[in-house]
Each structure stands twice: as C-alpha cells, then as structure tokens.
Amino acid sequence: MDPDNTVIESELSSDLDDDFAPSRAYDTELPIDRYLDRELSWLAFNQRVLELAEDTTVPLLERANYLAIFASNLDEFFMVRVAGLKRRILTGLAVPTNIGRAPADVLADISAKAHELQARHAAVYQESLVPALNEAGIRPVTFDSLDQADQVRLREIFTQQIFPVLTPLAVDPAHPFPYISGLSLNLSVRVRHPVSGKEEFARLKVPTLLPRFVRIDARETLDDMRFITLEDLIANHLGDLFPGMEIIEHHVFRVTRYEDVVIEEDETENLIQALEKELLRRRFGPPIRLEITDDMDEVTLRLLVRELDVTENEVYSLPAPLDLGGLFDLAKLDRPDLKFAKAVPSTSVSLLPIETNEAPDVFASITRGDILLHHPYESFATSVQSFLEQAANDPDVLAIKQTLYRTSGDSPIVEALIDAAEAGKQVLALVEIKARFDEQANIGWARKLEKAGVHVVYGIVGLKTHCKLALVVRRENGVLRHYSHIGTGNYNPKTSRLYEDLGLLTDDPQVGKDLTRLFNELSGYAIEKKFKRLLVAPLHLRRGLLKRIDGEAALAHEGRPAGIRIKVNSIVDEEIIDALYRASQAGVQVDMWVRGICSLKPGQPGLSENIRVRSILGRYLEHSRIFSFENDGDPQVYIGSADMMHRNLDRRVEALVRLTDPEHLTEIAALFNTAMDAGTSAWSLGSDGAWTRRHLADDGTPLIDMQEARMAEVTGRKRSGHR
C-alpha cells in the first residue's frame, strides 16, 4: 500500500467487520433468505470502484487512482476477511455466514468473483488506461521496446541507484526457501551453472522504498514522458546479480498473507506490549493468495505452490504488471489537466466573524448557536483544527479531552494537545491503538503524548473506542462552560480533505454533561446508565435505534407522518435490518444511502418494497453516518461514528448526537433529497442484489454529480452582510 494512501484506502475497506458470528435470525416470521451475503456485497462495492476506473468521462489520472484504490482495497479484503474465514475453516471454528451458508461455499464464491474482478481490473489497465496514458504523453514502456541509448541510460540508473539495494536469495540445501513478506513484489529466477549444468532457483525482492515507475529520461517534459516498471528494469539486469550463470527463466510474483491482529486483552496488563508482540506475529501470517504473471513456467509455479502451501484457487494468473496499487505513483504526477478540477474548502460561514475587522474566534462563533460542519466542502483546518488550537492557546481553557482513532503522521491536532499539556492544562487523549493497520503509528503518538504530560488512556478492555469526540472546558466569568465537537470522521487533517464527514460544534450544556460522563466512563470506572442528547454504544445505541425504527412503524400504522432515512458506510446487522423490514411492511418509506456493504434486500414484495438503497462514489469518500426519523412531523436526526455492523453496535464505543437546529435538519433533509433523486448520479441496489449505475440521462447528458454540486453550493454561501 502506498504510504501516503494507506489510511485512505484502509478506510475504504475497513468496514470489513471482524465478526464471524452466525446469522442472527431475530424474526422467524420474515423470509429466511432475506439477507445478502456480506462478503459478496463488499466485492460488489469494490466493483463500483472499478467501474469508476472504467468510466472514460473521469479524468485520466483519477482513473489510474481508482485502479490503485481497487487493488489496495482487495489486498486488505484478502488480508482480513478471506484469511480470517480460511483460518476459521482450517481450525474447525467456522460457523454459517450471515445468510446461513457454509463458509467453505462462500469462500469458493469469493474466489470465483475475485478472479473475475482481478482479470477485469488488469484488462482495464492494459486495454483502456495504457492507450489513454500514451495519448496523454504518459507512456509506460517495456525495456525491450527501448533503443540502445535509452537502455544505456537505464543501465546507469540501475547500477547507481538500484543494484546496491538488491539482495538475491538462493534456494538450495544450504539455503531453505526464503520467507516472502506479504504484499511484496518478487522476481523468481531460475539459473543454470555453465559447467555442471545444474539448475538453481533464487528469489529477488523488488525494493519497496524505490519508485515503482522509473522515468526513462529526466529531460523529458511532463507532457511527454516515458516510464518503465522497477521490476522490468531489474529483470533486464539479472546478469549483474548472477554473474557467470545462465538465466533460464524469470517471472514476477506476489504473496498476500493473513495480517489481522487479535489481542486477548484480559490476559495481559500491558496493552501496548501485547499489541507490539502481535504486530510482529502479523508479519508471518500464512499465505492466502499468490499472484503470478501469466507467462510463468510450470516448474516455477509448482515450486511456489508447494513452498507457499497455497491451493489452485488461491493462485491468480495475471498479465504484467502485478500490483497495480503502484499506480498511486503515476496518479501523483503534476498534470492538473488530467485530474479533477481543484476544489478549495471554504470556511464555514458560521465561523466567520460578524465584522470583517474582527479576528476569527471559534468560541464566540459557537456561542451564537450550534454549528454543523460538512467536510471536505467546509475546511477542517479553519473549524475543528482551529477549535483545538485555540483551546490549547487560550489561558481560560482549563481542560481538553479528546478521542483519537486515526490521525496523520504530522498531525497539528496532536501538536495542539501537546501544547495544551505543556501550558499546564488538563489534557486527556483516548488513543485507540488497535485501529486496524494504524496500530504502530498510534503507539508512537501515544508515547509522544505521554512524554508531553498528556493523560493517555486506551479505553475499555474488550472494546474499541471509535467515537469522534472532543470536549473543551473553559472558565468564563467565574463559570465553567463546555464546548463540544462530535463528528463522523477521524481527527485527521489529511483525510479530512478526501473524506465526506459531518461534525457538530456546540456549547449546549447537556451535550457537555453527556461528554463529561462519557469521558469519565472511558478513562475511569464509571458506568453511565443514560445520556440525554447522545446515543452511545454498546449499552444504548442498538436499543435506541430499534426504538425509533419501531416508533416509525407504529406511526405509519396509525396513518401519521413516518419515514426513515439512514446514511452509513455499511449495514450488516440482522436485528436492525429486520426492524427496517417491519417498518417497510407497515408502510414506512425507508431510504438507505450506503457506500459499502449492504446485506439488506430492497424491493422484495411483502417485505421491503418501501425500501430504496442508493450508493454514491466519487472523488470524495462518503463517510458520514446519519440517522433521520420523521417522528410525526417532529424530526429526530442523529449524526455520529457508528455503522450498522455487529462490531459497531456491540463491541465498540460509538456516539451519535441529536441535531436540534431547524436549519440543520433542513440541510440534512436536502442531502437525502439529492442523493435519492433520479437526476443524481448513483448506483441503485436491486431486489436481486445487483447494483446498477445510472450516471447518464436518457439523452446521454451527465446526471448531477452530488459531490461537485455540494462543493459549489457550500462555496457559494455568504453570511448576510459579510464580505
């Protein structure tokens, strides 16, 4: 995975729930086959990403980026879901899936679909992207196609910059088959001794710290440049690595390993030490996928299959190049003509000073009323980041409490907490070090915070802390006042420019009390029975949502205004789905806006004919979670961190906050109206479980791009009287 994109792509696929529990058939009166398989639904989500890469109306380098995202997503799916399912089968712990099927059968379905998608992915690159790149002056070439002058130039690059980093590993009685690290790109090399005629095998790892695409000539302009893959360059200089030997065959291969982390927290007193030990173990997980170039000879293939102990279905034969995640490098080229038009987030009008000569003051803005933020359309830097930085530097601020799930490597949020602690304020940081694939980074930030005097805690044993909360306690005129932020996304300035998220800034005393109680529960031994304006998992959220869903069904039975609108990354939880089915049967219109996995079947006669499901994918990753209930004309609308997954409802600390400002309720309603409108580009989920994209009108004109329209709308906002 590309270092600058790891968090982004991990989030794209982090909805791969770590729960392999059996299906929960809560309502025996509903049809048995009422759910869609969650694994195949995830693959359908990644197929939607692939369809964006296939779309020739999308800017060229953005298409390359989508191809890279698809590859990175699939890597994580194999490392977590496929590997975990296989492990359960081999250990005899497998249970029926969420649709009641045998795990071995589902694994076979996954394999068939994954083979199909990877072949389609490779074809998009070879048959569509490469010709388009060539036409745009970005030309991927092979070593054999170059003239002598170019080959000489590349030999100099190889000798000076690549050869010293390479380490060939022989395989013979004195050198056992080497460990092949997960997701590494490798060359298999078969050589023959010129005297004895004996054939040998060697493995050569392609260095991950070197550019995947090497420029042929640095003098070429950005409008006309050629690239060669690093592995192709290395393969054509194997004689330097095996002098005196005859090179018989060389091929590229790649291994994916089981790399999830499982920690038994109740068996250890030191969570960090346990996690560090488990991270080391992760590196040596068993192989679960072997990707090979389609020209690999049978001798080499048999050797790899035997030594890596993979099955026939776990071998993926693809045209070179493998690992198209390397396209992240090409997507970064400075060619704005081949990318989405630059969009600059604007400062929320609610945070602008009343008078133009006033300095921005986040606290003063919040006192004028609740502020609903919508990122990346509204700037994270001038809102949430400014809120925390101002709090760190304000002498009247006495305490800051915050959760940190994922954050960037050079996070100004972390620096603000450190500044606050060094200024003598009470600072509490709840760092969730178990955030998948960010564990090592989070350990580093936790220790840095501790050294600065921040009180660092790791939450509640057995639960991940996934809620996005910040609480600032400020002394004003001798009275303590609470300023709160509750969001749907991580406190990460980098991903805030790419993720669509919502957040609420408020000085509501009740929210402040709720957060104070919740932070006490997370850092101490308090057990809160009730919150006023929050719904909190795992104790209250499931029950609270079910109560509101059932309430809408009751209203519909009485002929009163009822309706449910939910926006999530994924919905798998059977109890929630069954409640939505019952609401549909009662006549409630249910609108579901789902980015990723959806195990709910819409449009089933007598079951879900009143349920519509849409999915929107684009330049920004739809990440906010919204729960809206019509409630007889008095809407109840919540935003927060929870998806409708077993883990979110039962094994994580999640928080939803209720919106109360009428303007905010109107804004949320408008978002759903646009998302569900037939004139908006989106995918629709059919009753058969198939997703259908509609992005062109009947006359061939493009439908509304919701994200582009939203950016234009927010950018065009003006505070009355503000210049």
- As a whole number of angstroms, the distance between CA 364 and CA 98 comes to 50
Q: Which of 247, 253, 257 is nearest to 187 (CA)?
A: 253
Alpha carbon of residue 367 to chain centroid: 34
How far apart (Å, rounded) are the C-alpha atoms in residues 672 and 662? 16
Beta-strand relationship, 315-318 and 426-431: unpaired
Number of Cβ within a 10 Å radius of residue 526: 11
Name every residue whose Cβ is closer than 8 Å to that of residue 720 and which is 6 or more positions away in sequence.
Answer: none
Residue 345 to residue 343: CA distance in whole angstroms: 6
- Looking at 121, 250, 466, 482, which residue is catalytic? 466
From 385, 381, 469, 474, select the one nearest 425 (Cα to Cα). Answer: 474
- Pairing, β 315-318 against β 287-293: parallel
Three-state secondary structure call for residue 499: strand
Q: Where are the alpha helices (DSSP H) in 136-176?
A: 148-157
Distances (CA, A) of 224 to 61, 128, 711: 15, 19, 33
Nearest C-alpha neighbor of 515 from the set 501, 490, 532: 532
Owner of token pair 């002058």: 149
Q: Coil, strand or helix: which one is 436? A: coil
Active site residue 250: no
Query: In whole angstroms, how far apart are CA 702 and each of 129, 373, 513, 683?
Result: 21, 28, 48, 14
- Output the DSSP codes for 657-711: EEE--HHHHHHHHHHHHHHH-TTB-EEEE-TTS-EEEE-B-TTSPBPB-HHHHHH
Q: How far apart are CA 249 and CA 191, in angstroms?
A: 7
Can you tell me the distance from the alpha carbon of 555 to that of 632, in angstroms, rounded to the nearest whole number? Answer: 7
Catalytic residues: 466
